[in-house]
Structure 1
Amino acid sequence: MDVPEQTFISLHSDMPMIAPERPCWAVYEHWVSNEKGRRLRPGVYWHGYKRMLGDEESGCEQSLPIVDEWVSTPVTVVARTTNSDDGSHGRLLRLLTDDGPKELIIAMEAFGGSGEEIRRQLFHMGAIILMKKRGQFMDYLLEQRPVEAFATTSRPGWHESGAFVLPGLTLGSDKVRYQSNPATQVLFNRRGSLDGWQVEVATRCAGNPVLTLAIGCALAGPLLSLVGVLGGGVHLVGDSSSGKSLVQLIGSSVWGDPGVFAASWDMTKGGLEIEASSRNDTMLPLDEIKRADPKRIQEMAYSLANGQGKGTMTRDREARGKLSWRLLALSSGERSLSMHAAISGNSAHAGAELRMVDVNAGTRTHRAFDELHGLAGADFHRALTVAVSKHHGHLGPAFVECLLASDDRAGLLQEFASVRARFIEDNAQAGRVADRFAVIALAAEMAIAYHLLPWTPGSALDHCRLLYGEWLAQIGSGNAEDRQILASLSDFIDKHGSSRFSCIKHDTTDLKVHNRAGYWEVTGERRLYLFNKPALIEAGNGHALSRIIKALEGVGGLAKRDSDRKRHTKKYRLPGGGSAGLYVVDPEVIGTQSA
């Protein structure tokens, strides 16, 4: 702490003597005695002289009675601070309260008012300021000129200095602090011990791929930027009471109190951005996808993966800084993202589904679990629920400490490349999902190597490969957007084949067909559907015509076309007269490919 030399106190002396160069401010964290032998309790003091009537002209302060005015409990201005996010300045305060020492960062802009906001925070943390000395206390804070300079940030995770910052804990530097809003909920709480979590939680998670995934997902957050993997998420799908919520509680316990750290889909997109930013470089658990707005769910999935919030403006039309983050989300629900989006009448885009990958957490050996370690299902659930409430918030910071201690970025990239090679994909889209499973596997295997997880080396990789293989088997090979386009065309034919199409061979137009999508003709034993251009675009469900054609050509779904290969249509004479170029779609071909 930077205060005048005369205010320094030996913390080991029973009752140190002080002789301040009056007038001055001073802070004492222990009892002291002044020049006259008077005992002074710990606190902030103004050391001055007691002015007597007529003394103003004497100029002889040393002859005046001394006065030691107690202003507050010990509050030391330790350092100047500069926020790395927006360049704003502040002060780092050290408080000594009945609960022990605490730190508080105050923004300098708070001095622009009455200072009430600062005093409220200090009172909230256990400081005491004399009511009649409130203004004097603010003068004390402003007059301090600490030499020490710290950096601050309002976002958890990796700082530009290389430190990893969490509320109340900075790993890798003693010159960086987390600067929180007083109203911000404390997410990264710690309770119990790491040993307790390892014994009561981690050992019971062994042999369970979905639980391995949850813990690895939580630990992968700090690795994403180091190995160049984009954010996204995994979505646990299973019936109600299958164990999905327990899986999320266990994942949440890596960083904090599961009851506080876990979030819900029941929020606006803006709220989701705030929740994601407040967990940057860690994990965002999102329970019950059915609570999300079906019309916005895809947009929210894209936003989570892209890591960038929407820009806003203040009432004075000044731009606010965009929120940003990089993390993995651990979502859950009884239905998949595509099924939830379909409630609003919208089919899920392949990009959204790839950013929130479905994981089977409902039809395993014991619903969400594969191994109960000799316990009944209800007992297994109860034991883990109690265990994470007793022990939480230790594994994540311990993992980062080991990561910082190793300080091997090149080696980390090589390790990731080695793990990533074990996840095979046949297209770029599956490659992005493979990246996600690979970084989750890498994080869990590193924690095993650090002796933070009591699991067999290689088991986490095997579990992640198993879940990735299940996903591949579910979605099939090839391009996901192609499959969705073909599925949309197939659904359109099933829905409208008898109402918006009629036989091209009829001599006259069928007047019963409203909002015509085209015609059909029978070739051999097959009925082919002849789409007009507007209907084909409609059936493509938001995709451009060129993209629809590409998907059809990729599977041979265009059954006929004119000899001019630049055209994708075939010209037909229409019932009632005239002709038109129509897109000839084979429903059997696209139905097979979209399955």
Structure 2
Amino acid sequence: MPPASAIEFGASSPDFQRTLLPHGFRYAADGDIERIVGVEKDGGKVWGRLCSPLEFVARTENASGTAPGLLIRIQTQNGNWNELSIPLSGLIGDELLRDLLDHGLRFVPVGRDATELKRLLVSVVCEKRARCVSHVGWYGDVFVLPDAIIGQSPGVRIVFQPTHTMEHAYRVGGTFGGWKREVAARVAGNSRLMFALSAAFVGPLLKLAQMDGGGFHFRGPSSTGKSTALHVAGSAWGGGGVSDFVCSWRATDNALEGLALIHNDTLLTLDEIAEVDPKAAFRAAYMLSNGKGKARFDKAARLRPGYEWRSSFLSTGEISLSAKIGEDGRIATAGQAVRVIDIPADAGCGMGLFEELHGFNRPGDLAVALRGATKRHYGHAARAFIAEIVKDVPGIASATRDAIATMVGQICPKECDGQVRRVASRFALAAHAGELATSFGVVPWSPGDAFAASRRCFEDWLRSRGGSGQKEIEDALDAVFGFLTRYASRFRPWEAPDHQIFDCAGYVRDTREGRAFYVFKSTFQNEICGRGGIDPDYAAETLARQGYLKRSSDGKRTRTERLPKIGNQRVYVIRISSGEDGDERAAAVSPEPR
């Protein structure tokens, strides 16, 4: 029998029951695992070292009884133990071996030793069972993080077991108290910073509120403090890397899908939208919010379902999402506008994003202090927030839905349309998240502070939007009147039909009542509407209801008109009366009253 000290070195705890190893493997006296490397002449087995101390805790599988794996514990060279759940499918190739090395297992990663280690992992039999979950976020009433399971699932142990090695920033550093003093307390009085930090807690509430994903985009010039808002919000969840918890917009569609999946039910922060391709921005606005990636075929030509997630994200940029999409000749749709909500970063106090400096001389000094603090203290707040939620998930869910309805009623103008109400509900959810964090003691704010910050940001959003009217109507009118204003020279004067015009778009005619544009069907459908992604029928119907489009006698949106030098043509007849009161669009293309 080996010395007791040698046995104790290899054991993680006195009461740990070692798993019986399969034939050809054994535990060494110092806790290492050995394998048979040969046979002596007399038939005796020759044993050699396979790997450093390794414990087998449980066999894992998902709720469907598939995705088998192992929950193991690895003793590092300094004597600490790392727990890791590994999918057995990872043994195909070398990715899993690299993961074991990264977690401190010492073995020869090539040749016969690597093959034998794989055989050991496949062959070992554990009596205990655990439920593996491959995604971050809610699993029932338990919240899964890469290194922590928050909450309890009676009768079964839950472990995080991704299908592939996953890089993440859900790290914990510094102290919770330090984060409260140096980060959360210093954002008080700053509506944008308080709102960003409140929005950081929205992710875990999306499921409870029964809301789809979505996010907010802080827009404004450089050096206004936009990136500071992302670092502040991200510090609630993690950090410790070069960019803390902040990711970049500069990514492919596939990479953005991966980021969304890793940040399911948590927070995704994306800095500087100018770095993303306009087409990718157009697709990402829907993809991130809708929570579903593209279905793909695997190497065996089998259709693999797309990833799914619930995404709460914060974004920054010098330009808006609609401006980025416009670089490619498109117009952002109303659906995108309510999924990625554009907030002016400048708070209007001459200090960029800041309003209260908390004793610092300049906004830049406070920004530097906040960035420094987020590098020292991170990852505590979100875990504390979730730990309170799991104590009463049904109760928090009911209170969240009630709070959203109440807050929407308080901040939404009575005459506003459904789209504005949808946006208001997102601001209300962020406000409620901040108020919950206050009541839980996660942030050192006073009751009502988070609501006030969210209301201020909502009112600024509504003001920058131009009112509470339906955005599809606004977009359609903007597209039509914008074209008529920019390309008025492409319309041939009715009184001068011989006037040569390159790329003629139609005719224009001035009367005592105003100005009439006779727009060719191809121009209206392909240029005015097609480039902006607007349905021509919807645009024409909008014009008709607003009194700008003259219908045909049978109610159709186009009319047959006898055009000079051309003859009968079906055209869209858009009429603008002289001196349209309060309508800047119409006034831009209407004639001076005669």
Asked if the contact 2:88/2:122 (under 8 Å) is kept, the reply is no
**How far apart in 1 are the matches of 2:195 and 2:187?**
10
Asked if the contact 1:528/1:586 (under 8 Å) is kept, the reply is yes
**How far apart in 1 are the matches of 2:65 and 2:507?**
62
Gaps of 5+ in 1: 1-6, 29-39, 57-65
Range moving further from structure 2, 477-486 or 117-126 = 117-126
Letter in 1 for 2:410: R
Cα distance, 1:319 vs structure 2: 2.1
Asked if the contact 2:281/2:321 (under 8 Å) is kept, the reply is yes
**How far apart in 2 are the matches of 1:461 and 1:594?**
40
Cα distance, 1:187 vs structure 2: 1.7
Out of 379, 402, 406, the residue aligned to residue 414 of structure 1 is: 402
CA RMSD of aligned residues (A): 3.2
Matched, 1:477 2:468: yes
Cα distance, 1:267 vs structure 2: 1.2
Instruction: Name 1:384's counterpart in structure 2.
Output: 370
* SS at structure 1 position matched to 2:391: helix
* SS at structure 1 position matched to 2:59: strand
Out of 116, 126, 151, the residue aligned to residue 146 of structure 1 is: 126
Q: Relative to structure 1, is the Cα distance of residues 234 and 490 closer, same or farther in structure 2, using a 3 angstrom cutoff?
A: same
* SS at structure 1 position matched to 2:422: helix
Instruction: Name 2:55's counterpart in structure 1.
Output: 76
**How far apart in 2 are the matches of 1:289 and 1:251?**
18
> Deviation digits for residues 338-397 of structure 1, max 9, x if unmatched?
122222222222222222111111253120111111212222111111100000011111
Range moving further from structure 2, 291-300 or 136-145 = 136-145
TM-score, normalised relative to structure 2: 0.85
Cα distance, 1:41 vs structure 2: 2.1
> Deviation digits for residues 57-103 of structure 1, max 9, x if unmatched?
xxxxxxxxx99876432211111111459931111111122251111
Letter in 1 for 2:484: I
Out of 403, 412, 416, the residue aligned to residue 389 of structure 2 is: 403
Out of 338, 344, 355, the residue aligned to residue 370 of structure 1 is: 355
Out of 306, 330, 341, the residue aligned to residue 290 of structure 2 is: 306
Write out aligned runs for 1:184-333 (5 A). 184-257=166-239, 259-333=243-317
Range moving further from structure 2, 437-446 or 535-544 = 535-544
Q: Relative to structure 1, is the Cα distance of residues 587 and 82 closer, same or farther in structure 2, using a 3 angstrom cutoff?
A: farther
Letter in 2 for 1:107: P
* SS at structure 1 position matched to 2:61: strand
Asked if the contact 1:77/1:141 (under 8 Å) is kept, the reply is no
Out of 101, 104, 109, the residue aligned to residue 126 of structure 1 is: 104
* SS at structure 1 position matched to 2:573: strand
Instruction: Name 1:586's counterpart in structure 2.
Output: 575
**How far apart in 2 are the matches of 1:85 and 1:268?**
32
**How far apart in 2 are the matches of 1:478 and 1:531?**
27
Asked if the contact 1:490/1:587 (under 8 Å) is kept, the reply is no
TM-score, normalised relative to structure 1: 0.85
> Deviation digits for residues 318-339 of structure 1, max 9, x if unmatched?
2233122112221111111112
Instruction: Name 1:37's counterpart in structure 2.
Output: none
Instruction: Name 2:143's counterpart in structure 1.
Output: 164
Letter in 1 for 2:468: S
**How far apart in 2 are the matches of 1:467 and 1:71?**
60
Gaps of 5+ in 2: 1-6, 589-594
Q: Relative to structure 1, is the Cα distance of residues 200 and 548 closer, same or farther in structure 2, using a 3 angstrom cutoff?
A: same
* SS at structure 1 position matched to 2:83: strand
Asked if the contact 2:405/2:425 (under 8 Å) is kept, the reply is no
* SS at structure 1 position matched to 2:285: helix
Asked if the contact 1:85/1:153 (under 8 Å) is kept, the reply is no
Out of 497, 516, 520, the residue aligned to residue 532 of structure 1 is: 520
**How far apart in 1 are the matches of 2:22 and 2:492?**
102
Matched, 1:92 2:76: no
Matched, 1:461 2:440: no
> Deviation digits for residues 251-284 of structure 1, max 9, x if unmatched?
1111110724211111112211111111111111
**How far apart in 1 are the matches of 2:22 and 2:198?**
60
* SS at structure 2 position matched to 1:210: helix
Range moving further from structure 2, 82-91 or 191-200 = 82-91
Identity %: 31
Out of 484, 488, 503, the residue aligned to residue 479 of structure 2 is: 488
Letter in 2 for 1:75: L
Instruction: Name 1:34's counterpart in structure 2.
Output: none
Instruction: Name 1:556's counterpart in structure 2.
Output: 547
Letter in 1 for 2:318: E
Matched, 1:334 2:318: yes
Cα distance, 1:142 vs structure 2: 3.5
Q: Relative to structure 1, is the Cα distance of residues 198 and 314 closer, same or farther in structure 2, using a 3 angstrom cutoff?
A: same
Aligned length: 557
Q: Relative to structure 1, is the Cα distance of residues 217 and 84 closer, same or farther in structure 2, using a 3 angstrom cutoff?
A: farther
Asked if the contact 2:478/2:585 (under 8 Å) is kept, the reply is no
Letter in 2 for 1:398: A
